[in-house]
Structures are given as structure tokens and as C-alpha cells.
Amino acid sequence: MTAPTAVAPVDAPAAASAAVLTHEQILNLLPHRYPFALVDRVIAHEPGRSAVAIKNVTLNEPQFQGHFPGRPLMPGVLIVEAMAQVGGLIVTQMPDLPKGLFVFAGIDGVRFRRPVVPGDQLRIRCELLSLKRRRFGKVRAEATVDGELVCSGELMFSLVD
């Protein structure tokens, strides 16, 4: 008979990652669906100001079949899309905005610092920089893995009719 395995105590960073918005709540706020729903949970959120979210990167995601066989890397465009979805969560709960679909209007100064691979956990932070005429907005976004900057830039969006 083997001795029971000890369970490690919960550390502070893991406890700090409790969901503010669950995956189910995110699906009610954003229009994206599999395979394009790229936000797993939100761990900090100030509607109309900022959000911090988690994207767990797993080998069974469809893009890894071809990007790249033998060396799977998360495509940069999907990292930027995940950042945009977090930005979308900032505005979806602002009561004074018209309902509708917000889409990309521009991407400025985006830089990729290191590859993202299956097993990584992206921590995405977005902050609303401006909102004009209740239709056009800009967020500053950054994605990190284990505290190391992976991608950053400014993302613009507009409301389509």
C-alpha cells in the first residue's frame, strides 16, 4: 500500500486568480464562439475602465495542426484577437453605450516579444484609453506569460450598425 499523496497548500497567486467572470458569463457578453472564443476567465474587471483575463493555451486547439507541425506556436493574430476580446469585455457592460457589434478599426504599435506555446497561460490586461461619440474606442493591451511580456500594443474598435 502506498502512502497518500500530500496536497500542496494554495499559494497566493493562484488564489488571486479566482474568476470575476466565468467562461459562461463571458459567452453571454461576447459574440465569439468556438474556435474563436479566446477568453477563459476574467480575474479583474472594472466595467468601462479595465480588465485582466486568462487564456489557457492547449495543444488541442485547431490552429496547432498547421502552425507549426512539430513546433506548435500560437499565431500572433490570435494573441491580438484574445487581447481585443478582453478589450471588448470592458465596454460590453457600459450602460450608456448603444448595443451592437464592436469590431477592429485599427491596431497600433503591436509588438511580439516571445513565442506562446501549448501549456502557457496568457494573462491579458487591457485599459480603456478613450471612447469617442459612443462608437469608437481605443485600449492599451498587453499579454504576459509567467510575468514575461509576450505582446503589447493599442487596439482600436468601432461599433458597426
How are beta strands 121-132 and 50-56 bridged, if at all? antiparallel
Residue 67 is a catalytic residue = yes
Amino acid at 52: V
**Residue 15: C-alpha distances to residues 5, 12, 64, 88, 118 (Å):** 21, 5, 30, 25, 23
Catalytic residue among 23, 32, 45, 67: 67
Which has the closest alpha carbon to 110: 132, 78, 134?
A: 78
Q: Which residues pair with 20 in a beta bridge?
A: none
Q: How far apart are CA 28 and CA 75, in angstroms?
A: 26
Task: List residues with catalytic annotation.
Answer: 67
